[in-house]
Amino acid sequence: MSLKTKRSFARRTGRPLSRKSRRPARPARETSAPVNHPEPLVSVIIPAMNEAPTIARAIAGARGVHPRCEVIVVANGSMDGTVEIAQSCGARVISYAEPLGHDVGRSIGAEVAKGEILLFTDGDLVLSSTQLRPFVVAVSGGVDVALNNYSGPVHRSRPHPVVLSKHVLNIILQRPDLKGCSMTAVPHALSRKAIQVLGSDLLSRPPVAYVHAVMEGLRVEPVHIVPVGKINAVRRKKGGRDPLQQLVIADHLEAIALLLKRRGNRAGFTDGIRRREMVR
C-alpha cells in the first residue's frame, strides 16, 4: 500500500465552532468487524469529550494505520453517546464521568497502551489512515518522537500566542529547525522507548514532555504535515481571556523552566566574549 499522501486534504471538518452547527452523528459504516488486535504493534490513543459527531470516523481512520492495531478511546465528561459509539466501533473505551482535563487523556491512554508505537490523535479530528500512517512508519523506522510538521498559521503579521510559544521553545532548545512543531499538536507518535523515558504522566503537559525528549537525546523529528489548522478555533472568551491559551503558555513556561534548570541560566547558549566583570 502506498504511503504517499493524497494530493489534497479534505478541509478539516472536525471542529465546529458551536454545538448548534455540528453535524448530526453519522452512523459508522464498517464493512469488516472492527476489533482491537490481541497483540497490537500500534496503539492509537484518542481522547474524547462529547465527540459523538466525529468519534466513529476518527476511530475508522485510526483503525487503518496498521493490521496489528488497537484503538483506545479515553472518553471523559461525555454525555452525548461518545462512549457507546466508540464501543460499537470496537475501540477499547476507558470512560470517566468527569472531564479529565486538557491533555490528561493522553496520559491515561498511554498508561494502558500495549503497542510498541503509540499514535496520539483526537476525538474531534477526522483523519484518514493515509494521514496518520506516516507517523507510525517514522517510529518503526527509529524515530522516538514523530511530530506533526505543522507550525500553525505563520503567514500573518502577528503570530497567535500559542504558535509563538512553540517557536520560541524550539529556539531556546537550540532546535530552530523544528520551527513551530511541538508535542502539543496532534497527531504525533511515540516509541515505546520514549514512553519509558518520559513516563506517561508527563504526556499531560506536552511541552514539558517535549523538552525532556529533546534533552534526553530521543530522536525528535517532524515527519509529516497535517494542517490541523483551526486547532484553536475562535471561541467565546472567558472574561476577555482565553483559558486554553493561558494554559498552553503556562505549559511552555514550565517547559522553559525545566530547560533552564538542566542547561543553566542561558539554556546552554554561550556568552560570547562578554567580560561581565568590566562593570559592577
Residue 10 or 154: the one with the smaller Cβ distance to other proteins is 154
Pairing of strands 188-191, 145-148: antiparallel
Check: CB of residue 70 under 8 Å from CB of residue 37: yes
How buried is residue 123: exposed, middle or buried, by Cβ count under 10 Å (0-12/13-18/19+)?
buried
List contacts with other proteins (CB under 8 A).
Answer: 18-19, 49-50, 76-77, 98-104, 154-159, 161, 163-165, 167-168, 171-172, 174, 176, 204-205, 235, 238, 241, 243-244, 246-251, 253-254, 256-257, 259-260, 265-276, 278-280
Angle between helices 243-263 and 161-172 (to 10 degrees): 10
DSSP code string of 177-209: GGTT--TTSSSEEEEHHHHHHH-GGGGGSHHHH
Nearer to other proteins, 47 or 90 (CB): 47
Q: Which is nearer to other proteins, 121 or 191 (CB)?
A: 121
Instruction: Between 163 and 190, name the residue whose CB sits nearer to other proteins.
Output: 163
CB of 84 to other proteins, least distance (A): 18
For the bound state, the minimum distance from the C-beta of residue 259 to other proteins, rounded and expressed in Å, comes to 8
The type of residue at 168 is V
- 64 vs 227 by CB, closer to other proteins: 227
CA 29 – CA 25 distance, rounded (Å): 12
The CB-of-243 to other proteins minimum distance in angstroms stands at 5
- Residue 67 or 201 with smaller CB distance to other proteins: 201
How far apart CA 54 and CA 122 sit, in angstroms, is 10
Instruction: Report the amino acid identity of residue 41.
Output: L
CB of 133 to other proteins, least distance (A): 28
Q: Which is nearer to other proteins, 61 or 105 (CB)?
A: 105
Strands 42-48 and 117-120: parallel
Alpha-carbon distance of 270 to 73, in angstroms, equals: 46
For the CB of residue 45, give the shortest distance to other proteins in the complex, in Å.
16
Nearer CB in complex with other proteins: 40/206: 206
Distance CA 246, CA 161 (A): 9
Q: How far is the CB of 35 from other proteins (least distance, A)?
A: 29
Minimum gap (Å) between residue 175 Cβ and other proteins: 10
Question: Which residues does residue 75 pair with via DSSP β-bridges, in sequence order?
Answer: 48, 95
Do the beta carbons of residue 129 and residue 61 sit within 8 Å? Answer: yes
CB of 217 to other proteins, least distance (A): 20
Query: Residue holding cell 515505546?
Result: 192
